[in-house]
Amino acid sequence: MSLTTGTPGQAGNRPPQGDMHNDEGRALAQEFVQFAIASGVLRFGEFKTKAGRMSPYFFNAGLFDDGAKLGRLAQFYARGLLLEEKTSGLQFDMIFGPAYKGIPLVAAVAVELARLGRNLPFAYNRKEAKDHGEGGTLVGAPVKGRVLILDDVISAGTATRESIAIIRAAGATPHAVAIALDRQEKAVENGKDVAHSAVQFVTRELGLHVFAIARLADLLQYLAEVGKPPAGGAQANSDDSLQTHYQRVLDYRQRYGVD
């Protein structure tokens, strides 16, 4: 996809979206889905979402809760962001992690990006302002230039709007958001489903480039492939439970999904 520039906050001005749908991007997404399931971060069952829906799957990034899993997660973000730079022309000068989940995430991703040759400053915010020492709510490098916000998912865009306000107050430009998973489902406003997703709202209304390591479509592809019986009468090695999950997730996407 081509790179264009949107004005943050101006409706209808759509910022650039990368082409993570190329072969390398698709492979990365499948690898990430497999890792998230194996880590117990992506689970199947019945889960009530913030929107009040009963979802057949749940993604809880808080369960990337040891050094190995956090380090691997950071690798996916870093690899995806470098690929996004190459394929879409996305450019950013620093990364920002919103409290609280974004704090360890932004530090880990900064370390991994530096290891891959892209050394960037990073910062994060406190929930409560510090009234001694240096004071304030921001910690880390000075917030300036084009800022990439790191988060796990975008549920309603509230956390993103809070980060935008913090970044603008510091005199910098909120430029993009990187998330682990795009649920690709309709947002809820005033208790009713709307035609756009929370990610699309951030893109179209807030004017930010949104990058996701994987999307619901990638999860469906993974479930379909792993749960598929082998061809040619070979001994079955498919996971029947994954095929069951595939149908339930597909039904959910058909009811609530957006592209």
Name the percent of the chain lying above pLDDT 70: 84
Q: pLDDT tier at 165 (50, 70, 90 boundaries)? A: very high
Report the number of distinct structural domains present in the chain.
1
Inside any domain, residue 14: no
- Which residues form the domain of 30? 23-256
Domain CATH for 74? 3.40.50.2020
Task: Give backbone dihedrals phi and psi of 136, rounded to 5 degrees, phi first.
Answer: 85, -175
132 is catalytic: yes
Inside any domain, residue 16: no
Packing angle of the helix pair 23-38, 67-88 (nearest 10 deg) = 160
Inside any domain, residue 1: no
- Which residues sit opposite 77 in a β-bridge? none
Q: Which of 48, 50, 86, 130 is catalytic?
A: 130
Inside any domain, residue 78: yes
183-203 residue pLDDT tens: 999 999 888 999 999 999 999
pLDDT at residue 21, rounded to an integer:
62
pTM over the 0.95 mark:
no
Inside any domain, residue 8: no
199-241 residue pLDDT tens: 999 999 899 999 999 999 999 999 998 866 666 555 454 566 7
Instruction: Check pLDDT > 80 for residue 6.
Output: no
CA distances from 141 to 14, 88, 161 (A): 29, 26, 21
Rounded to the nearest integer, the mean pLDDT of the chain is 86
186 is catalytic: no
Inside any domain, residue 129: yes
Inside any domain, residue 158: yes
pLDDT at residue 238, rounded to an integer:
54
